[in-house]
Amino acid sequence: MPIASAQAASASCLNYSTSEPFLSLKDTNTYALVPGGNFEGSTSGWIVSGNVQRVAGGYAVAGSSLGAWSLKLSSNSWAQSPFVCNESGERTFRFFARSEGTSATLLAQAFFETAKGPVATKGATLTLKSSWEASPIIAMSPPPGTTVTNGVVQVALRFTALSGIARIDDVFIDPRMRH
């Protein structure tokens, strides 16, 4: 169930603070933390469906003292980030995830604003292990009909627990919005 287009239209372009949180994995791309994407404070702007909870225990990105909280998604639940600005070309996102129990399956997708409302990309389906791991680099290409304003699109990230109980933390997007 995509969110209402009016919410996407109200997304503001952020002055992204970027870092290289996946450098230890030989990923030299710069990323920006999605608003509320470390779950340490307010998850304002995130939309959830089903049994989704902010819970104690998270992943601490290298060089960060954070990592006390994460987002827990039970099977058939989803959580969607706020819409943020991104350049209109193909971009990527990454995050940290783990399962509770033996394994969980998680679908990670990007939703782009179009004239007909938000449209999802194929995304990636991941089988999670019981320890925190970085996701692979997930490409997000705007689908045909994506609304582009001054070379910028609005994109939100959605995480759906397809089976088991999944936890996500430190959700990053490669904004390619160099200043």
**177 pLDDT more than 50:** no
Look at residue 176 in the predicted model and tell me its pLDDT.
Answer: 64
The model carries a pTM of 0.88
Judge whether 157 and 93 are in contact, CB under 8 Å. yes
Domains and CATH numbers, the chain: 18-173 (2.60.120.260)
* pLDDT digits 0-9 by tens, 40-62: 988 889 999 999 999 998 888 75
Name the CA dihedral angle for 12, 56, 79, 64, rounded to a multiple of 10 degrees.
40
* pLDDT digits 0-9 by tens, 57-109: 888 875 555 678 999 999 999 999 999 888 766 689 999 999 998 889 999 99
Distance CA 2, CA 172 (A): 21
